Amino acid sequence: MKFNLIDIENWNRKPYFEHYLNSVRCTYSMTANIEITNLLHEIKLKDLKLYPTLIYILATVVNNHKEFRTCFDENGNLGYWDSMSPSYTIFHKENETFSSIWTEYDESFSRFYTAYLDDIKNHGNIMKFTPKLNEPANTFPISSIPWVSFTGFNLNVYNDGKYLLPIFTTGKYFEQNSKIFIPMSVQVHHAVCDGYHISRFINEVQEVILNYQTWLGDK
């Protein structure tokens, strides 16, 4: 997968990037309740799982916007990936730990869903932190906390403050006013993503969910 270098000197985001990376190093998160009423009903009719469906949706919107695919490569160069794949957590009831598994993104929901099921079948019962080897560099993390309908969620990443990729966390869905909602938290770095971008992302996730007929039954 191609990593496209960014020419920082001629980048319209240069002053914002340098300010939030060097002067005021800053990450932030936003949590929103996403309506899934009709989508949840439909996937239950089709005997599909909600978690991989949400993973597909998040990966689809990530791949729509390069600010969510912007990061440093292994040599410290700034750029963005042509495409990114999700790396997601699965829970092990037996010992109350989790594993992180990745599945290559596919624009086709049905192909992605099948690949997800294959990865779970092959690696889901291996109680290791990363049971599926050779995770590519162009992945981003998703986790699920399906036991609580949280109203806010914040990650504190203690490194050099240069982790630029988004981190997504979903919670337990709930009913309110005869509709079903699920909390979704998005953690981003202000150097590459402003409030406008994260707002657009959340709104687009909601739009993809509301228009599930256009992709849920694809081949």
Catalytic residue among 19, 41, 123, 190: 190
In the block, tokens 């949590």 appear at 31
Three-class secondary structure assignment of 85-115? EEEEEEEECCCCEEEEEECCCCCCHHHHHHH
Sign of CA dihedral 63, 114, 122, 99: positive
CA distances 40 to 5, 34, 60, 97, 111, Å, are: 40, 12, 18, 27, 20
HSE of 152 in the Cβ direction (CA atoms, 13 Å)? 3
Q: Residue 55 carries which DSSP code?
A: H
Closest listed residue to residue 167, CA positions, set 136, 198, 133:
198
Instruction: Give me the phi and psi of 186, to 5 degrees please.
Output: -125, 120
Is residue 189 flagged as an active site residue?
Answer: no
> Which residues are annotated as catalytic?
190
